Chains A and B, each alone.
Chain A
């Protein structure tokens, strides 16, 4: 093409303009996220000898992390607590999302969503601390129940253990679970329900055969968005977990800031990430299977 003309300046190539714009945020993410994540993986293969760091690559940290029952138990417990939180949060969130999406008049939906999100934006630290106040031996819950004569002595199984962690985290991540499910439900064409009813399905079977499958992407998003951050939560297990409610983040922090064993902390962080990714992948895979199975 000899007489190919150069484009007018206004139309610099799409891709070039896109890259130009995204360059800064991308550079930021590369420098402050990708590089540090790479560094921590590298770090996990080093080892700490009192005050000096030995930079020869070794699997020592991983061996220790996976053989020492302390670490193993912590990792496992984090996984279990996270799973429990996720199940509790998503199961309790679904009816709310369903209610707001299907029964709240359209002009009031934004208000409800706003109400649901407000607590999330208030100081996390203080919210968690307040649960300690509520669930404590002399806490609001116990004193109220005692005052009402429902119990004779304070309940102790609700603070400084895994239960407390689950309750507190389920509270903290509620909006994270409600919003994606709500969005998925909102997208469902309302006439699909009428069609299903018209074809003879009852209320429950319509829910089971139409609503739930269509809401599944939202549920999956909710599961992931709750599960992933909770597994690495530090504040809640520290404040309300007691010795039996400690999670992996507490140990990572201890390794880094108390024991001065950063390579061990790094190895635990990498293991946490690996665990998170594995669970996320399994879940995404199951969801794909589920969706394909329905087609």
Chain B
């Protein structure tokens, strides 16, 4: 059974990576049509990236939104994860269920329902409304990551700190925080990545300044822009992989530093 499964697994990975693998191929292809055969090597599309002000504005806007989302979602995540792992309170299941709901709600529903309320309240759309939506969908991911960080923690560690004269707050700072720090870093990076990549909510809730995915969406209609988009996509994939690698590294280092067994993986 092992061999056929292994072959299957490798084919499956190829399927998973096929689209991404094509990105650099066409990003460096010296032709305006995205099709084989290839025409030759060029840096031209990457150079063009530097010359589009609207793209730069969208990138900046997205970064702003992603950083805010990462921080807010992680803060909410820390609060919820600690409550969920440390304390028993009536109605916990329902409360956590509501907070985690966006994880299984189609994003279009989140988007339109927020839109309806915001418009009804007469509020103008902008970066901040996108942040509101993104925090909502990123928080469950943060909680999932932080839950496992908090869960691995021996409750008596904090008690030991209190026993040795620290207050509740200072023992959280001195003991718990350093121990869940890898989880916090993972959570920040994951929330950042989610926000940077999210399209639908941004599409509905963005005002006059598009985020990067919204800008991209607009460009997909123009065939002559496609090679540039391939170049941009290549950079985005590189950035995502880099962020993920850092998140994974932080998690593993945290695990190694505290001598835990490597349990592996996100989510």
A–B direct touch in complex (beta carbons closer than 8 A): yes
* Most A-side CB within 10 Å, residue of B88, B114, B236, B241: B114
Instruction: Tell me whether B19 and A134 are in contact (CB under 8 A).
Output: yes
Main secondary structure of the interface of A (DSSP, over half): helix
A230-273 vs B, Cβ < 8 Å mask (1 yes, 0 no): 01111100010000000001001100110000100110010011
Tell me which residues across on chain B come within 8 A of A231, comparing CB atoms: 106
Q: For residue A247, which residue of chain B has the nearest CB?
A: B108
Q: Does B160 contact A (CB under 8 A)?
A: no
Instruction: Tell me whether A30 and B112 are in contact (CB under 8 A).
Output: no
Instruction: Tell me whether B106 and A228 are in contact (CB under 8 A).
Output: yes
Categorize the interface residue count of chain A. 35 or more
Contact of A110 among B1, B89, B236, B265 (CB under 8 A): B265
Chain B residues numbered 218-243 whose CB sits less than 8 Å from any CB in chain A? 220, 229, 233, 236-237, 240-241, 243
Tell me which residues across on chain B come within 8 A of A122, comparing CB atoms: 20, 197, 236-237, 240-241
Q: Does B122 contact A (CB under 8 A)?
A: no
Tell me which residues across on chain A come within 8 A of B70, comparing CB atoms: none
Chain B residues numbered 168-204 whose CB sits less than 8 Å from any CB in chain A? 168, 193, 197, 199-200, 203-204
Categorize the interface residue count of chain B. 35 or more
Q: Does A70 contact B (CB under 8 A)?
A: no
Q: Does B5 contact A (CB under 8 A)?
A: yes
Instruction: Tell me whether B136 and A98 are in contact (CB under 8 A).
Output: no
Q: Does A216 contact B (CB under 8 A)?
A: no
Tell me which residues across on chain B come within 8 A of A235, comparing CB atoms: 199-200
Contact of B36 among A33, A140, A253 (CB under 8 A): A140
Tell me which residues across on chain A come within 8 A of B204, comparing CB atoms: 253, 256-257
Tell me which residues across on chain A come within 8 A of B267, comparing CB atoms: 117, 179
Instruction: Tell me whether B117 and A125 are in contact (CB under 8 A).
Output: no
B15-35 vs A, Cβ < 8 Å mask (1 yes, 0 no): 111111011001000000111
A10-18, A59-67, A155-163, A281-289 - the one binding chain B: A10-18
Q: Does A130 contact B (CB under 8 A)?
A: yes
Tell me which residues across on chain B come within 8 A of A73, comparing CB atoms: none
- Given the interface pairs A22-B80, A26-B98, A32-B114, the reply to whether A121 lies near B89 with Cβ below 8 Å is no
Chain A residues numbered 95-127 whose CB sits less than 8 Å from any CB in chain B? 95-96, 98-100, 103, 109-110, 113-119, 121-127
Instruction: Tell me whether A233 and B98 are in contact (CB under 8 A).
Output: no
- Given the interface pairs A119-B17, A126-B216, the reply to whether A232 lies near B248 with Cβ below 8 Å is no
Tell me which residues across on chain B come within 8 A of A143, comparing CB atoms: 35-37
Q: Measured between C-beta atoms, what is the minimum distance from A143 to chain B in Å? A: 4
Instruction: Tell me whether B35 and A127 are in contact (CB under 8 A).
Output: no
- Given the interface pairs A110-B262, A256-B115, the reply to whether A129 lies near B136 with Cβ below 8 Å is no
Q: How far is the CA of A130 from the CA of B84 in the complex (A)?
A: 40
Tell me which residues across on chain A come within 8 A of B82, comparing CB atoms: 21
Q: Does A35 contact B (CB under 8 A)?
A: yes
Q: How far is the CA of A144 from the CA of B34 in the complex (A)?
A: 13
Q: List 27 A-B contacts (CB under 8 A).
A: A19-B83, A22-B83, A24-B79, A25-B77, A29-B98, A32-B114, A33-B98, A33-B113, A35-B117, A37-B109, A92-B12, A95-B9, A95-B12, A99-B6, A109-B265, A113-B265, A114-B265, A117-B267, A121-B244, A123-B197, A123-B216, A124-B199, A131-B19, A229-B104, A249-B106, A266-B116, A272-B109
Enumerate the 7 nearest inter-chain pairs by beta-carbon distance, A residue then B residue, closest first.
A232-B106, A18-B87, A110-B264, A18-B89, A130-B19, A36-B113, A21-B83
B-side residues, CB < 8 A to A, are 1-2, 5-6, 8-9, 12-13, 15-20, 22-23, 26, 33-37, 76-77, 79-80, 82-84, 86-90, 92, 95-96, 98-99, 101-102, 104-110, 112-117, 120, 132-133, 135-136, 139, 143, 162, 168, 193, 197, 199-200, 203-204, 213, 216-217, 220, 229, 233, 236-237, 240-241, 243-244, 248, 252, 262, 264-267
A-side residues, CB < 8 A to B, are 10, 14-19, 21-22, 24-26, 28-30, 32-37, 39-40, 43, 92, 95-96, 98-100, 103, 109-110, 113-119, 121-127, 129-131, 133-134, 136, 138-140, 143-144, 147, 171, 174, 179, 203, 224-225, 228-229, 231-235, 239, 249, 252-253, 256-257, 262, 265-266, 269, 272-273, 276
